[in-house]
A and B are shown apart, each in its own frame.
Chain A
Amino acid sequence: MVLKSKKYPLLFLLPALVFIGIFLILPLCKTIYYSLTAWYNFAPTKKFIGLQNYMNLLHDDVLKIAMRNTGILIIFALIFQVGIATLLAICVDSVHHGFKFFRTVYFFPVVISATAIGLMFSLIYKYNYGLLNNILITMGYEKKVWLTAKSAIYCVAVPTVWQHVGFYFIVVLTGIANIPEDIYESARLDGITPVKRVLYITLPMLKPILISNVVLVVSQSFRVFDMVYVVTGGGPRHESELLSSYMYSKAFSDYNTGYASAIAIVMIVMGITLTGVLRFLMNKMQGDD
Chain B
Amino acid sequence: MGYTYIKKSDRIKAIVRTGVLYAVLIFWALLTIIPLLWVFINSFKESNDILLSSLSLPKAWTFQNYIKMSTYPDMNLIRAFKNSMIICGGVVLGVLVCAGFAAFALGRFDNKFNKYINALLSGCMLVPAFSTLIPNFVLISASPLRGTQWAVILPLIASNMSFSTLLLTGYVRSLPRDLDEAAIVDGASVMQVFIHIVVPLSKPMMATVGTMTFIWTYNELLLSLVYLPTRNLQPVSVILSLVSNMYGTDYGAMMAAICLTILPVLLLYMVAQNQVVKGLTAGSVKG
For A86-124 the 0/1 string (1 means CB < 8 A from B) is 011001101100100111111111111111101111111
Contact A31 B131 (CB under 8 A): yes
Contact B244 A122 (CB under 8 A): yes
16 intermolecular pairs with C-beta atoms under 8 Å apart: A2-B110, A4-B109, A9-B111, A13-B117, A20-B121, A23-B155, A30-B134, A84-B28, A88-B28, A107-B276, A113-B240, A116-B240, A123-B254, A129-B51, A171-B284, A174-B281
Contact A3 B1 (CB under 8 A): no
**B190 contacts which of A5, A124, A271 (Cβ < 8 Å)?**
A5
**A34 contacts which of B1, B135, B266 (Cβ < 8 Å)?**
B135
Q: A13-B101, A170-B281 are in contact. Are A230 and B241 (CB under 8 A)?
A: yes
How many Å lie between the Cα of A19 and that of B191 in the bound state? 21
Contact B109 A113 (CB under 8 A): no
Chain A interfacial residues counted at CB < 8 A: 102
How many Å lie between the Cα of A260 and that of B135 in the bound state? 11
**A15 contacts which of B36, B98, B134 (Cβ < 8 Å)?**
B98
CB distance from B110 to the nearest CB of A (A): 5
- The answer to the question of A267 belonging to the interface, with a C-beta cut-off of 8 Å to chain B, is yes
**Inter-chain residue pair count (beta carbon < 8 A):** 277
- B residues contacting A by CB (< 8 A) are 1, 3, 14, 17-18, 21-22, 24-25, 28-29, 31-36, 38-39, 50-51, 53-55, 94, 97-99, 101-102, 104-106, 108-111, 114, 117, 120-121, 124, 126-139, 141, 154-155, 157-159, 161-162, 165, 177, 180-181, 184, 190, 193-194, 215, 218-219, 221-222, 226, 237, 240-241, 243-244, 251, 254-255, 257-258, 261-262, 265-266, 268-269, 273, 276-277, 280-281, 284, 287
- A residues contacting B by CB (< 8 A) are 1-6, 8-13, 15-17, 19-20, 22-28, 30-31, 34, 42, 84, 87-88, 91-92, 94-95, 98, 101-116, 118-124, 128-131, 134-135, 138, 162, 165-167, 170-171, 174, 184, 188, 194-195, 215-216, 219-220, 222-223, 225-226, 229-230, 244, 247-248, 251-252, 257, 260-261, 264-265, 267-268, 271-272, 275
